Amino acid sequence: MPTYEYECKDCNHRQEYQIRFEVGPDCEKCFRTMTRVWTAPGIQFKGTGWGGSYSG
C-alpha cells in the first residue's frame, strides 16, 4: 500500500495518508493546506539538506 506524505509549510507538521488528495489535506494543527512531499520508495533522506530546493 503506497502512502502519500504531506507537509504543512506553515508549521512543518507532516502526515501520511493512504489516499491521494487532488489538493492537499488540511493541516490538523493549523488547518492550512498541506503540500505533497515527494519521496521515492526505498529511499530515505536523513539528516539535513533536504527541502531547500523543493518546489511544487
- The footprint of Zn ion (CB under 5 A) covers 8, 10-11, 13, 27, 29-30
* Burial (CB count <10 Å: 0-12, 13-18, 19+), residue 34: buried
Instruction: State the minimum distance, in angstroms, from the CB of residue 33 to Zn ion.
Output: 9
Identify residue 44 by its one-letter amino acid code.
Answer: Q
The contacts of residue 10 (CB under 8 Å, 6+ apart) are 27, 30, 32
Instruction: State the minimum distance, in angstroms, from the CB of residue 5 to Zn ion.
Output: 14
Q: Given the complex with Zn ion, which of 20 and 29 has the nearer CB atom?
A: 29
Q: Given the complex with Zn ion, which of 28 and 42 has the nearer CB atom?
A: 28
